[in-house]
Chain A
Amino acid sequence: MILSDYVAAVLLLVGVFFFLAGTVGLVRFPDVYTRLHALTKSDNVGLGFVVMGLAVEAESWFVVGKLLLIWMLVLLAGASVAHLIARGATQRGVRMWTD
């Protein structure tokens, strides 16, 4: 198990931790806005770490390029979809959570 494997493993573990955090947020948070917030934030970061971990393992720069493209697309889509869902929710009159 050479050095790059260890680095990749650590990066992947951190990425997975962020995904776990996002999922916990999804389950625990009371209303749609906070859940949106939790998911988009942590999953994007998590994906970043996973992409970096995989990039370390990747054979050629071309594959690394594709991985980064994936990450960019997820970022773009995640943000705009979260915005649209939030807009939809407000239009339907979903009130924010106040304890």
Chain B
Amino acid sequence: MSSVPLFALVGAGLFCIGLYALIVYAHLLRKILAINVMGSGVFLVLATLADRTVNAAPDPVPHAMIITGIVVAVATTAFALVLMLKVAEKTGRAELPDERTG
């Protein structure tokens, strides 16, 4: 029960690493990976800060939110992958036309 919410800081770091990769890399599969990493980062922040209860069970509400988030993440990732494949099939490359998408 360390006082410093270490994993929350890691979560913030993951969020920023994911955002950097999302902005910088062109390939759609990398962008989907980046989105998943950012998602994990946000969930880490959400869960770690729920663990600050003194000598009591951690707050279950964020845990429920994270499970919802994970399921939503897998659903959107699955759809994004199929969309990427369709883009690759139609345009020949699994990248968005303008190289560096914001």
Chain A directly contacts chain B within the complex, with at least one CB pair under 8 Å: no
